[in-house]
Amino acid sequence: MRGASVILVNAIKTRFTGSNRKFLFWILTILLILIVLYSLLFQVFMAIDGHGGEHSLITGIYWTLVVLSTQGFGDITFEGDAGRLFTIVVNITGIIFLLIILPVVIIEFVYNPLIAAQKEATAPRKLPDTMKGHVLITYYDPVADALIARLNQHQIPYAVIVDEVSEAYRLRDMGINVLVGNIRQPETYVNARAEHAALVAVTSESDPINTNIVFVVRQVSENVPIVAFANHVDSIDILELAGCRQVLDISDLMGKSLARSTSNDGVAAHIMGKIEDLRVVEARVSGTTLVGKTLKDADLGRKLNITVVGVWERGKFELAGPHTKIAENSILVMAVSEEQLKAYNDQFSAEYESGNGVVILGAGSVGLAAARYLRDKGTPFTILDKVEPEGRCWDEFRQNVVIGDAADLNFLKSTLFYEASAMLITTHDDDINIFLTLYFRKLRPGVQIIARANNERNVHMLHRAGADFVLSTSTMASSMLFNNLEQGHLYTMVEGLYAIQVKTPKKMIGKTLVNLQFRALTGCSVVATIVDGKCNINPSPHEPLPDKSEIIMVLTPEGEEKFVKYFGNQSLLPEKKKKDKTKKSKPDTTA
């Protein structure tokens, strides 16, 4: 009881500051003036009513309070119309105060402060003493949302640190675990048990704020892995000096990944991801002799010793089988060695001439990163932007930038648009990206369109608009963060399709993929095994999986969920290698 009263008193005190004090002061002043005025007018109207001098000032105050509070007229009433009209005015004034002004005062200065104080008192400010191996997230955004979804899937504890109690309750209502604290104070990370955390993700859009957070966390723990985002390349060294284990330049990674998927080299297979000696590649079949055949008829396994993992067609991935038919817009996803990749390209790339280059929509950091990749690869490109970019970072591409409105058909005709083999749509606005994807698909039905999604929820819309490949910032960034948990390695190739390298689950050891009915059960495809450091690409499904091995799978999010369901979360925990957790490492940009 005493604690509740203290909360109430403290809550009300917090409201009596600044404009709140003035508001309450004027309300009480007006009420006092009305009581005095009505008490004096009471004497006047009593005199008019023929009872002048019979009632004192105290009686007038008594009558005014009784009528203002709408309790009734008591033992004193007016007999004439003038007095009764005055009584009506006083009564209406009381109704206004009781039904309108008084509730506002109570809600504003009593109820709301009490609720806020209760929330403040119950807001989580410290993690349990038993908490360990958790992930601390210092900024909530779509990247954090995608990371949280993956952490929940693998049953890894986490907490999002927020400054404001109101924001904490908003996120908690969404089912998100939160911790209230100042992200710039060491005490917050002591309460968050940072020294026992598996990872601290520092992902705000401000490099100075990220640097400050990293520096503060490092004061609390010298060993906890800290991964931060760098929004400008110049900030990478500063963040590493502050104590980051890894600094991710997401714009650079996104641009390279988008550019890597372009089809300017015709139907040559392109590397989507590299894991050990394995290459996961995609190959367009349009214009080749493969179109119209089934995989059995194509007989790539016998001719080139290549196994087709699946077929990708504008956002939809299906595991391949002997009766899978290859359509004009199909893209084959294959797991191959370097030699097998060369053999495939030697046979099929000659069937189709290379394109005339790539058009990049948007001269932002992602677009320029894609341009650097294409330039280094020797692929011709043109960058289109509505306004001239600012800053020195784009000076190296000045001769490749064309300023104009991409929605203007006449402008497009004056560019590489109608000759280009691929379009990269890289703007930071998903609505614009959807609009341009739909527009370009109508203008050029057969061109390859690769789009960036800033928010994961817009991926489906971009595929529906006509994009062949979509990669979202949140998926790529969350995958990079997840890789630092040493719980397997994720390699995001395109949105909705990725590879993962994990320790072979105990339930699979000694059994064959055929006996397990692995593909039918999980929707995943094992494309390689690693035994004693040796990578065996496309292993036979009839051979038992050995102990102390790892498997590499190509899978979708739904497939991963089934894999965890049937083989358990612990199957995603490879043998941890002893190493210095504070060691800085460059991000893997091969996928």
Range of 39-48, 71-80, 220-229, 411-420 with top mean pLDDT: 220-229
Which whole number is the average pLDDT over 479-500?
A: 74
Range of 3-7, 130-134, 561-565 with top mean pLDDT: 130-134
Contact partners, residue 230, CB within 8 Å, separation at least 6: 207, 210, 236, 239, 247, 248, 249
pLDDT at 218: 94
Lowest mean pLDDT, pick from 108-112, 369-373, 531-535: 108-112
Q: Quick check: 79 pLDDT over 90?
A: no
Q: Quick check: 63 pLDDT over 50?
A: yes
Which whole number is the average pLDDT over 438-452?
A: 91
Q: Quick check: 487 pLDDT over 90?
A: no
Lowest mean pLDDT, pick from 9-23, 163-177, 303-317, 415-429: 9-23
Lowest mean pLDDT, pick from 260-264, 350-354, 510-514, 557-561: 350-354
Q: Quick check: 575 pLDDT over 50?
A: no
On average, the pLDDT of the chain sits at 82
Instruction: Find the distance separating the first CA and the last CA of the chain, reported in whole Å.
Output: 60
pLDDT at 554: 87
pLDDT band of 582, cuts 50, 70, 90: very low
Nearest to 590 by CA among 280, 315, 370: 280
Three state DSSP letters for 446-461: CCEEEEEECCHHHHHH
- 395 in Cβ contact with 388 (< 8 Å): no
- CATH code assigned to 358-473: 3.40.50.720
pLDDT at 81: 85
Q: Where in the chain is the domain with CATH 1.10.287.70?
A: 2-122
Residue 566 to residue 516: CA distance in whole angstroms? 11
pLDDT at 242: 93
Q: Quick check: 17 pLDDT over 70?
A: no
Contact partners, residue 493, CB within 8 Å, separation at least 6: 272, 273, 280, 282, 499, 591
Which whole number is the average pLDDT over 320-344?
A: 85
Residue 205 to residue 235: CA distance in whole angstroms? 12
Q: Quick check: 574 pLDDT over 50?
A: no
240's enclosing H/E stretch is: helix 236-242
- 294 in Cβ contact with 311 (< 8 Å): no
Single-letter code of the amino acid located at 246? Q
pLDDT at 572: 46
pLDDT in tens, 269-300: 777 777 778 888 888 787 788 888 888 888 88
Q: Tokens 């360990």 label which residue? A: 132
pTM for the structure as a whole: 0.68
- The greatest distance separating any two alpha carbons of the chain, rounded to the nearest whole angstrom, comes to 121
pLDDT at 14: 53
Q: Where in the chain is the domain with CATH 3.40.50.720?
A: 135-248, 358-473
Q: Quick check: 370 pLDDT over 70?
A: yes
pLDDT in tens, 121-153: 567 888 988 999 999 999 999 899 989 988 888
pLDDT band of 589, cuts 50, 70, 90: very low
pLDDT at 160: 95
pLDDT at 117: 60
Residue 239 to residue 249: CA distance in whole angstroms? 11
Which whole number is the average pLDDT over 223-242?
A: 91
pLDDT at 591: 43
The residue count for the chain: 591
Which whole number is the average pLDDT over 432-448?
A: 92
Q: Quick check: 588 pLDDT over 70?
A: no
Q: Is CATH 3.40.50.720 what the domain over 135-248 is classified as, yes or no?
A: yes
Q: Which two tokens stand for residue 101?
A: 């002004």
Q: Assign 3-state DSSP to the chain and report helix, strand, coil percentages, each to 5.
A: 45, 20, 35
Lowest mean pLDDT, pick from 16-25, 29-38, 328-337, 409-418: 16-25
Q: Which two tokens stand for residue 303?
A: 């001719």
Q: Tokens 């009471």 label which residue? A: 42
pLDDT at 565: 84
Which phi and psi (to 5°) does residue 23 adopt?
-60, -50
pLDDT at 583: 42
Which whole number is the average pLDDT over 438-456?
A: 90
Single-letter code of the amino acid located at 30? I
Residue 547 to residue 503: CA distance in whole angstroms? 10
pLDDT at 465: 93
Q: Quick check: 200 pLDDT over 50?
A: yes
Q: Which two tokens stand for residue 140?
A: 């909530």
pLDDT at 564: 84
Contact partners, residue 369, CB within 8 Å, separation at least 6: 251, 252, 253, 254, 255, 256, 259
Name which residue leads in pLDDT, 485 or 135. Answer: 135
Range of 179-183, 296-300, 306-310, 384-388 with top mean pLDDT: 179-183
What's the CATH class of domain 2-122?
mainly alpha
C-alpha 102: how far from its chain's center?
A: 44
